[in-house]
Structure 1
């Protein structure tokens, strides 16, 4: 058990980064054509309900665990914190450059929102609230780890290139955007403003 003096010393040494607000812009909204699709397609507006995008591949209050959750047996029902995939146009451009591709579209890797103007989007911390001008709010769970499955989707657009499926997870780490869940339902449209309400942050070091 931590004694009072050790706790006080830890708190005194703690460096706290203040919360802040950052403005960005919604450049594209996308959804799947069917629940079986991985690719997403641009649409006029994105309707968000508390369970996510109606009819979407990742909608629902719960989901089944997979390879990202090795602490559960595969297929365990768990909370769905991955309702929405959020990407950065700036980061997509960086990844395309690293892969020596002319472009990398958000829909190729299952994005639902393509944003601009939020620096280092994939590094935005958990608990951040993305508040959209139309009233919808998404709570950030964390960054989305790049995988070979997304790389295979990219490779389909460049059949003349080999190895893109493996290259994507190698070069897109911490550049693959965020996943989050709906905190407040609403409609999001391309062109509207989004405000990232970033909470206080500190580095947890128990030793």
Structure 2
């Protein structure tokens, strides 16, 4: 019996792994059931993320971001931590024509400095913090009207601001990550981002 040979693909270009350095410029967490976060000096992180935080938990319920599941299906929580960049927040604010955009308005947990185009860090990037915590990046955090509504409540502008947030924040909304190694992160702490090899699947 003859066997059909598999097609031969040209191997893709591979971008080498690298390491980048950054610093924690701010820490935030929810104080109740609300979406908006509040500044803190330290974050205690377990495998569930930030205990008691709105986005904490080993698992979460699926929503509009997971159309392949029935809404409300229990699934692994890969969105425990929201990570933002002051440079990207400033660009969003400029695009929207507002004076500022604070990380706590859109539910941020970590504000980090030193890494350009933070939102473009690829999935599987590991963030190693001086105090021993390791976070694993799941991917970029797609902007939504819910966050836009929170911004409008702070700066005014109503529906125009709410709707304007989504296009202005696309690919600038930061990252979501989950806790790979628990511990405590302190304000001002340094960290190192280990960016994995990257390639485009050539199918």
Paired residue secondary structure (2:105): helix
1:57 aligned partner: 54
Matched, 1:194 2:191: yes
2:131 to 110, 134, 159: 134
Cα deviation for residue 3 of structure 1 reads: 3.6
Distance 1:72 1:117, change over 3 A: same
Cα deviation for residue 18 of structure 1 reads: 0.3
Q: What is the CA–CA distance in structure 2 between the aligned matches of 1:59 and 1:127, rounded to whole Å?
A: 20
Q: How does 1:47-196 map to 2 (within 5 A)?
A: 47-160=44-157, 163-196=160-193
In structure 2, the gaps of 5 or more residues are none
CA RMSD of aligned residues (A): 1.4
Q: What is the CA–CA distance in structure 2 between the aligned matches of 1:200 and 1:172, rounded to whole Å?
A: 26
Matched, 1:27 2:43: no
- The number of aligned residues is 201
Distance 1:2 1:57, change over 3 A: farther
Cα deviation for residue 205 of structure 1 reads: 2.1
Q: What is the CA–CA distance in structure 2 between the aligned matches of 1:144 and 1:2, rounded to whole Å?
A: 42
In structure 1, the gaps of 5 or more residues are none
| Post-superposition CA distance 1:31-68 (Å, at most 9, x none) | 0001x110001001011101100111111111110011
Q: Provide TM-score, normalisation by structure 2.
A: 0.95
